[in-house]
Amino acid sequence: MTVLPNDHRSQPINLFEYETLAKDHLSKMALDYYSSGAWDEITLRDNRTAFERVKVRPRILVDVSDRNLTTSILGQPLQLPLLIAPMAFQCLAHPDGEVATALAAASAGVGMVLSTMATKSIEEVATACDKFPNSLRWFQLYIHKDRGLTRALVEKAYKAGYKALCLTVDAPVLGQRERDRRNEFTLPLDLHLANLATISELDISHEKGESGLFTYFAQQLNPAVTWHDLEWLQSLSPLPLVIKGILRGDDGVRAVEYGAKAIVVSNHGGRQLDGAIASLDALAEIVAAVNGKVEILLDGGIRRGTDILKALALGAKAVLIGRPILWGLAVSGQLGVSNVISLLQDELNVAMALSGCAKLDDIDPSLLILPRL
């Protein structure tokens, strides 16, 4: 396993440096798969610049000598308001893949959402984290055309001790990621869809001139899914349902009406509809619309502790982070993921102190100046 340099002056001191280093540890196909967005990648870039447009108005002369970053999501405690977003094919970054990511998350007291399209199975990840029985682990899924396959995935996740189902709703079809198409993306022969291989013959196949990922989505995911299917999904297990991929207030209200216990404001990291609103820009409307009836989380563009502060100030209970975790994983496996989490924790701690916030409840909209739209 690659380790970080012994000279601390050469170690990454922020998430951007991890991204730069990761490029030396990934194949072009893997790097493009992880980093690309849809079409012209406008939304991918806007997720980041949305945070840069929001400014902070710090409070002064507040006792911040003792700061508390802890919170809870769906009743489960977290050491800081952070979860790792569901990301496919993490073994492209490091042989330990999702297992390393899960162990780093559990060790740090943050949450992890395991992707349906993981390269380590539901059971492998759960077993690896046996010594962290109270860690927050959710399972992300899509509703497949084969309802039996969806049911089997839910049953496996429930049996393995996952605490919630995170349904991705913004991918009735796959966004057009042109870098993947140019690379004719497919998995290396030694990797497979670990959660599907044991219950079906599905895998990502390579077809000339086409992305194998696109072929999988086109063949297996169900573009006919509607709100009414959520009742069926919730009948499969007692696990609470988290809806990921909402960008409108009216859809947030519907999610509540159809039984969601939490919402993730997300545009799929800019990988689905290019030109879609940045996640941060959608947040306030959704928070207002659901009016405290469910917990709201946000993903897309988080790179600094100040970004977490801004998301919380606009009403998110926690954030999810994606690509930087992959950069840490590529550079040095579990240690790299742990360091990425630690950097964000330290930055949020400092940002809170400098903003006059001793605890997360002190973070509110009065801290921010929003751009004029």
Q: Tens of pLDDT along 219-271?
A: 888 999 999 999 999 999 999 999 999 999 999 999 999 999 999 999 999 99
Contact 93, 33 (CB under 8 A): no
Task: Specify if 2 maps to a domain.
Answer: no
Task: Specify if 6 maps to a domain.
Answer: no
Which pLDDT belongs to residue 192?
Answer: 86
Tell me the average pLDDT across 323-336.
98
Decide: residue 249, CB within 10 A, 0-12 exposed, 13-18 middle, 19+ buried.
middle
Measured distance CA(251)–CA(246) in Å, rounded: 7
Q: Is the pLDDT of residue 6 over 90?
A: no
Task: Specify if 73 maps to a domain.
Answer: yes
User: What is the identity of the amino acid at 4?
Assistant: L
Q: Is the pLDDT of residue 10 over 80?
A: no
Taking only the tens place, the pLDDT of each residue in 23-80 is 999 999 999 999 999 999 999 999 999 999 999 999 999 999 999 999 999 999 999 9
Say how many CA atoms lie within 13 Å of 214 toward its Cβ: 19
Task: Specify if 267 maps to a domain.
Answer: yes
Measured distance CA(295)–CA(240) in Å, rounded: 12
Q: Please tell me the total count of domains within the chain.
A: 1
Q: What percent of the chain has pLDDT over 90?
A: 85
User: What is the identity of the amino acid at 358?
Assistant: A
DSSP H helices, the chain, are: 15-22, 28-35, 42-53, 97-108, 122-128, 147-159, 178-183, 194-197, 212-220, 229-234, 249-257, 279-290, 305-313, 323-355
Task: Specify if 296 maps to a domain.
Answer: yes
Structure tokens at 137: 């682990």
Task: Specify if 9 maps to a domain.
Answer: no
Structure tokens at 320: 């999810």
Which pLDDT belongs to residue 213?
Answer: 65
Q: Report the mean per-residue pLDDT for the chain.
A: 93
Which pLDDT belongs to residue 3?
Answer: 44
Task: Specify if 7 maps to a domain.
Answer: no
CATH number at residue 284: 3.20.20.70
Task: Specify if 96 maps to a domain.
Answer: yes
Residues catalogued as catalytic: 268
Under the banding of pLDDT at 50, 70 and 90, the label for residue 5 is: very low
**Domain range enclosing 208:** 14-369
